[in-house]
């Protein structure tokens, strides 16, 4: 007895000297598990603490349940103010269950900041551009998805009560975790008239009965009870206001677009985020991360909005095709055409009101859970067929996925069917895919997913405009008259203003001003042909020229200046930054 008591005491002493149960989050971050919401906050604080000169951490809004929506801005103030540089904005987890975007955002931050001063590509990017990252938009959603019992598809909404079945009660009948395992799985009941029978290949799966075949199982839907006794089971869960259908451009009421909310920006966290984003007029490119299907989607989000100008499509195509190479298996597609129509989504809002380019990435593909050897691969179908079947993991059968679960993650993705005494249905079975499955890759696959998606972001980030201003000629024309020619060039894919923003006249174009204390611009205009000295002169105020610097291109101007001394040429652009050059008139 004495000896046992002594060893217990020793264990207690050792335990008390061990570090606290909750490990502190340290930089560099790890990506071997999905971060909980609290860990996302902790990781952002850790990044801010590790790189205080390069980062600003802000709360841009508060959710329905009072949780902060946080943004980390990466900018090097030594090379200029954030607003004077092209901006790249990244967000994730707008849908509560689509958590990977949070982890991709953290990875991107960790990678860029960790590479600063070590990797010349990252140093160069941070020094010339500004990165806005909001890892988790639907903060309540991420919290509840991971903390509560859910299925892979549940808990998408903002926490705004909505009476889905219009019975006067709000959110009165959510799914119920009957067996208390933290997952909302599926219910089934033995029934010779059921529409399903046991899969002869794998008895855990079911296949539909063919005409004339005897049934075996009735599928009863998500695990749960009729909480309000209205005869329906799980008919009114939390919400539903969809954070990605409530933005203020091309919004439509719920009878047109389900989940849009009672009015645009009815979610307080999303509204706060939108207000903050609207002040960041330097944002040239926006990425929003969702799951799933392995897609890089561009707009328009609705056919009726019309195709974007061809020069913008060329930018999207160039970046999107590179994205397909960086993330093998992903497809660059058009959202309304290849997926579905949406109203009031964040992408069209960013495109049409911020004048940014936009991609929505639907990360994770069912193919990554295929269970086939090289020699078992079927011939690829046409790209269009491949694209369609891949959406929502249709490319891999449940027979393959369950073998993947069995053999690659030792059964962790699927709960075998187990008997349960249901108060309404009687003897039933509960089983099926668990919460962290289906749309969410197993933890061992997280690193590959977050890395490749972050690298696709970086390719676009490196292609925001990088404008140089050069005075290419100062020529004395006799008397006190000088001919001054300037060149604005941009070796990157994106122009300094999208062609859509130009088309809809969204905001003033870039400005180029020339002037000096003793010098007056008497004529000025676009140099359309430097070889033949062809200039299109601007009639009024020739000292101020409006222009756009195209991607992979240049724009040249000519000023006729009268006077002496110095001439200063200043360039100012929302997406192209600010530049100044001074020359002597001689």
Per CB under 5 A, residues contacting Zn ion are 95, 98, 290
- Are residues 402 and 438 in contact, defined by beta-carbon separation less than 8 angstroms? no
Minimal CB distance to Zn ion: which residue?
Answer: 290
From the list 164-172, 249-257, 432-440, 545-553, the region that binds Ca ion by CB under 5 A is 164-172
Per partner kind, with CB cut-offs from 5 to 8 A, the member of Zn ion, Ca ion, none near residue 236 is: Ca ion
Query: Alpha-carbon distance 75 to 130, whole Å?
Result: 5
Regarding 424 and contact with Ca ion (CB under 5 A), the answer is: no
From the list 236-244, 363-371, 467-475, 538-546, the region that binds Ca ion by CB under 5 A is 236-244
Residue with tokens 């009114």: 236
Residue 408 in tokens: 């690659």
Per partner kind, with CB cut-offs from 5 to 8 A, the member of Zn ion, Ca ion, none near residue 313 is: none
Residue 382 sits at the vertex; the CA angle it makes with 210 and 322, to the nearest 5 degrees, is 130
Nearest residue (CB) to Ca ion, 226 versus 317: 226
Q: Report the residue from 57, 83, 169, 474 that binds Ca ion according to the rule CB under 5 A.
A: 169
Measured CA distances, 208 to 18, 199, 392 (Å): 54, 9, 20
Per partner kind, with CB cut-offs from 5 to 8 A, the member of Zn ion, Ca ion, none near residue 169 is: Ca ion
Regarding 148 and contact with Ca ion (CB under 5 A), the answer is: no
- Judged by CB under 5 A, the chain residues 174 through 213 that form the site for Ca ion are 176
Regarding 406 and contact with Ca ion (CB under 5 A), the answer is: no
Query: Alpha-carbon distance 310 to 63, whole Å?
Result: 39
Number of residues in contact with Ca ion, rule: CB under 5 A?
Answer: 19
Tell the smallest beta-carbon distance from residue 315 to Zn ion (Å).
24
Residue with tokens 């204390």: 517
Measured CA distances, 214 to 200, 350, 430 (Å): 14, 54, 22
Query: Alpha-carbon distance 335 to 302, whole Å?
Result: 8
Q: Beta strand 68-74 with 217-222: parallel, antiparallel or unpaired?
A: unpaired
Residue with tokens 């604005």: 488
Gyration radius of the chain over CA positions: 29
539: Cβ–Cβ under 8 A, 6 or more apart, which residues? none
Tell the smallest beta-carbon distance from residue 161 to Ca ion (Å).
6
Regarding 262 and contact with Ca ion (CB under 5 A), the answer is: no
- Are residues 35 and 109 in contact, defined by beta-carbon separation less than 8 angstroms? no
User: Within 13 Å, how many C-alpha atoms sit on residue 67's CB side?
Assistant: 19
108-147 footprint of Ca ion as x/- string (CB under 5 A)? ----------------------------------------
Give the three-class secondary structure for 414. strand
Regarding 162 and contact with Ca ion (CB under 5 A), the answer is: yes
Per partner kind, with CB cut-offs from 5 to 8 A, the member of Ca ion, Zn ion, none near residue 422 is: none
Nearest residue (CB) to Ca ion, 144 versus 509: 144
Tell the smallest beta-carbon distance from residue 156 to Ca ion (Å).
11
Tell the smallest beta-carbon distance from residue 471 to Zn ion (Å).
49
Query: Alpha-carbon distance 523 to 484, whole Å?
Result: 10
Tell the smallest beta-carbon distance from residue 246 to Zn ion (Å).
13
Per partner kind, with CB cut-offs from 5 to 8 A, the member of Zn ion, Ca ion, none near residue 98 is: Zn ion
Query: Alpha-carbon distance 12 to 157, whole Å?
Result: 45
Per partner kind, with CB cut-offs from 5 to 8 A, the member of Zn ion, Ca ion, none near residue 572 is: none
Tell the smallest beta-carbon distance from residue 106 to Zn ion (Å).
18
Per partner kind, with CB cut-offs from 5 to 8 A, the member of Zn ion, Ca ion, none near residue 58 is: none
Per partner kind, with CB cut-offs from 5 to 8 A, the member of Ca ion, Zn ion, none near residue 95 is: Zn ion
Tell the smallest beta-carbon distance from residue 219 to Ca ion (Å).
16
Measured CA distances, 23 to 43, 51, 386, 467 (Å): 12, 21, 43, 45
Question: Could you list the residues that contact Ca ion (CB under 5 A)?
Answer: 162-165, 167, 169, 171, 173, 176, 224-228, 230, 232, 234-236
């Amino acid at each position: 007895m004495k000896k046992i008591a002594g060893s217990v005491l020793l264990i207690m002493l050792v335990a008390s000297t061990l570090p606290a149960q909750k490990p502190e989050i340290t930089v560099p971050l790890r990506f071997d598990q999905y971060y909980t919401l609290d860990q996302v906050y902790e990781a952002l604080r850790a990044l801010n603490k590790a790189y205080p000169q390069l980062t600003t951490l802000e709360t841009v809004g508060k959710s329905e349940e009072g949780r902060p929506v946080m943004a980390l801005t990466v900018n090097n103030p030594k090379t200029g103010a954030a607003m004077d540089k092209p901006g790249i904005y990244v967000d994730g987890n707008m849908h509560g269950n689509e958590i990977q975007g949070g982890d991709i955002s953290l990875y991107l931050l960790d990678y860029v900041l960790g590479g600063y001063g070590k990797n010349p590509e990252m140093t160069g990017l941070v020094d010339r551009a500004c990165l806005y990252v909001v890892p988790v938009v639907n903060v309540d959603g991420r919290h509840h998805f991971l903390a509560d019992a859910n299925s892979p598809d549940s808990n998408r909404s903002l926490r705004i009560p909505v009476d889905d079945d219009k019975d006067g009660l709000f959110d009165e009948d959510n799914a119920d975790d009957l067996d208390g395992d933290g997952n909302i799985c599926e219910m089934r009941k033995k029934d010779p008239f059921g529409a399903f029978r046991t899969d002869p290949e794998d008895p855990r799966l079911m296949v539909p009965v063919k005409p004339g075949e005897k049934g075996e199982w009735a599928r009863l839907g998500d695990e749960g009870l009729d909480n309000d006794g209205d005869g329906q089971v799980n008919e009114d869960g939390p919400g539903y206001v969809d954070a990605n259908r409530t933005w203020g451009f091309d919004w439509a009421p719920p009878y047109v677009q389900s989940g849009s909310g009672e009015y645009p920006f009815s979610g307080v966290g999303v509204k706060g985020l939108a207000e903050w984003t609207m002040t960041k007029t330097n944002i040239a490119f926006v990425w929003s991360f969702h799951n799933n299907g392995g897609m890089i989607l561009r707009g328009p989000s609705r056919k009726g909005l019309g195709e974007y100008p061809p020069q913008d499509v060329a930018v999207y195509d160039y970046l999107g095709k590179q994205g397909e190479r960086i993330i093998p298996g992903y497809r660059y597609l058009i959202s309304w055409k290849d997926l579905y129509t949406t109203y009031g989504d964040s992408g069209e809002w960013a495109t049409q009101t911020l004048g940014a380019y936009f991609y929505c990435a639907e990360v994770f593909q069912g193919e990554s859970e295929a269970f086939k050897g090289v020699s078992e691969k079927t011939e690829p179908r046409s790209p269009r067929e491949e694209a369609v079947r891949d959406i929502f993991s249709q490319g891999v059968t449940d027979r393959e996925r369950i073998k993947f679960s069995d053999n690659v993650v030792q059964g962790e993705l699927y709960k075998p069917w187990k008997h349960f005494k249901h108060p309404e249905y009687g003897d039933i079975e509960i089983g099926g895919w668990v919460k962290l499955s289906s749309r969410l890759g197993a933890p061992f696959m997280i690193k590959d997913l977050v890395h490749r998606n972050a690298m696709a972001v970086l390719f676009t980030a490196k292609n925001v405009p990088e404008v140089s201003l050069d005075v290419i000629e100062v020529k004395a024309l006799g008397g006190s008259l000088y001919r001054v020619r300037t060149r604005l060039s941009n070796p990157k894919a994106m122009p300094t203003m999208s062609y859509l923003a130009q088309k809809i006249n969204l905001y003033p174009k870039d400005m180029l001003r020339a002037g000096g204390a003793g010098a007056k611009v008497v004529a000025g205009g676009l140099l359309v042909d430097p070889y033949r000295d062809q200039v299109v002169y601007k009639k009024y105020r020739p000292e101020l020229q409006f222009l756009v610097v195209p991607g992979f291109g240049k724009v040249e101007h000519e000023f006729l200046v009268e006077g002496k001394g110095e001439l200063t040429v200043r360039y100012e652009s929302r997406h192209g930054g600010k530049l100044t050059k001074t020359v002597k008139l001689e």
